[in-house]
A and B are shown apart, each in its own frame.
Chain A
Amino acid sequence: MKKKALIAAVSAVAIAMTLAACSSGGSGGGSSAAKNCTNKILVKSAPVVTVWAWYPNMAKVVDNFNNGHKDVQVCWTNVGQGGDEYNKFQTAVAAGKGAPDVVMLEADHLANYQIQGALVDISKYGANSVKKNFSAGAWKDVSVGKAVYAAPIDGGPMAMIYRKDIFAKYGITPPTTWAEYQEDAQKVKTAGGPLFGDLGSNVPAVMMALQIQKGATPFTYDPTKPKNVGISLDDSASKDVLDYWAGLVKDGLVGTQDQFTADYISGVVGGKYATYISAAWAPGYLSGAGVGKGADKGQFASAPLPQWDPSSPVSVNWGGSAFAVTTQATDKKLSTEVATGLYADSASLEDGWKNQVIFPLNQGVLKSDAFINAEVAFFDGQTVNKDIYIPAENAYEGFTYSPFQVYYYAQLQAELAKVNAGKESGSEAAAAVQASVVAYAKKQGFTVTG
């Protein structure tokens, strides 16, 4: 009897010890643990700051930073592009641990985390020393009053990328208005040509930008009065733009393929889409996925985004990111140094814009001859910076984003999928998004105004 009891007791203890081992192995993470870096730490004795980012050339950028710093080293991890990273960051914020010291966030997501108290006001830690490197507008996008919540890296002025071979074959020139865009699309279709563009439901930020282009103001939000938010997602401009694209889909003029997927990229490679309504950083992601090589080399060109009213053109933006310091950072001063210094050295910026994975916001680059007059290989030597993207960036007036941008995008994505399936009109989609976002905002305790 005693022996049995002993065996049972021993095995119980053994189990308990195994469990203890599990829990101790899983602790740490994020700020304190810097074991899982993708990069090599060069100065082993220096304190380490953890960074999450998904720039395609991030490995080089991090090495540049670590080479140039003896007092601090960056431990970088790519936890996913866009939504994948936001989900992980959101979970870490809710858990109160596990977030990195510095995180890459798109400008449209800053308010989302700032309202949760997840981001540090880095102006207290010397971030204003880099303010002179940016335009007033770019700095305003990362600030709330005097507080600064991130250091800007790149922007996303939008334009129309198109295939020269398809345009030549069907005898069309780049459309300057959306009406021409539709006419040209019809012309190409009638002649038996490929799809003219694509309405991917998984890039709702593009739809938001296009709605703003026609005069919509989706959100009014002042972070100094965080409980009030204005939501206007079903005004006539928003409805018009959604109806316009729903019409293109209905007529079979544009595709309905989600973007950044293997199916979409293979379509771009194969010349399935004549245009790609996109941002300045898109070519880098496309060429990184194998677009513009071999038979497609030099077939792409860029033109200004089509307008609703060519007499008063409106410039809009998609994406573009900044580095923010999280409130979970162990050393906020050092983290601020990383946020403002990472991807800010000339070698990294040059690698970024030459490969077109970023459209830099650093004035030193924007105003440099090399950047302005660069003949871009992806666009067959076209000087797109001077001709298209710099004017677009200069004309961009900034957007106001909501503190629940993630939820809004999810609703818009679901409605776009219905539009793509032919199940509802653009106006119906706009009304549905408005209803669900307003209901959500009220449930979250906001005072909603129209």
Chain B
Amino acid sequence: MKDLSSAEDQELVRAAQGGDMPAFEELVARHRDKLYARAYTMMRNEEEAIDLTQEAWVKGWQRLGQFHGESSFGTWMTRIVINLCLDQLRKQKRQRTESLDEINEESGGVERQMPVVTVNPTAGLERVELRQRIDRALGQMSYEHRTVLVLHEFEEMEYKQIAKEMKCSIGTVMSRLFYARRKLAALLADLRKGDTQ
């Protein structure tokens, strides 16, 4: 393949499946930021996100033969990196104590008693600022709540798919998602209050 930069993803994938490494390198260059962003949002750690995306690319190369184009190449690679992140987060969870969020959620759901946020906490904010606030709020959540939000809102997965990825029941997904949304609304509202004080 001569002109890699103008080739479609599908052509590059076909070439890479045939062992063409420069074609695969072009695919890496095209999708590396998206994969890194997904890993970083889940892990909240730059080094881990870099390591996990690299591992995902190595696995992607090795499993190219199993990619038949049911989804886009970017989506396929994103699933690989999400699974690696979830594995890593599970390992880390086994080594630490429960977070306050997990205890809150499991001890009867404080989210049920949270007052409803009546004012839109994001109204009037610039796009960049809104992104930063959401990112900061996500950083204050446990990995289960952050992940369920990421998979539902950013990856647009259904409850069933999320349950499969996170190896839990649909009921747990619903409960985590509800808690995460209510907590996010409260955190965004708090950040807004902080502005006016």
Q: Bound pair: A and B?
A: no
Report A's interface with B, CB cutoff 8 A.
none
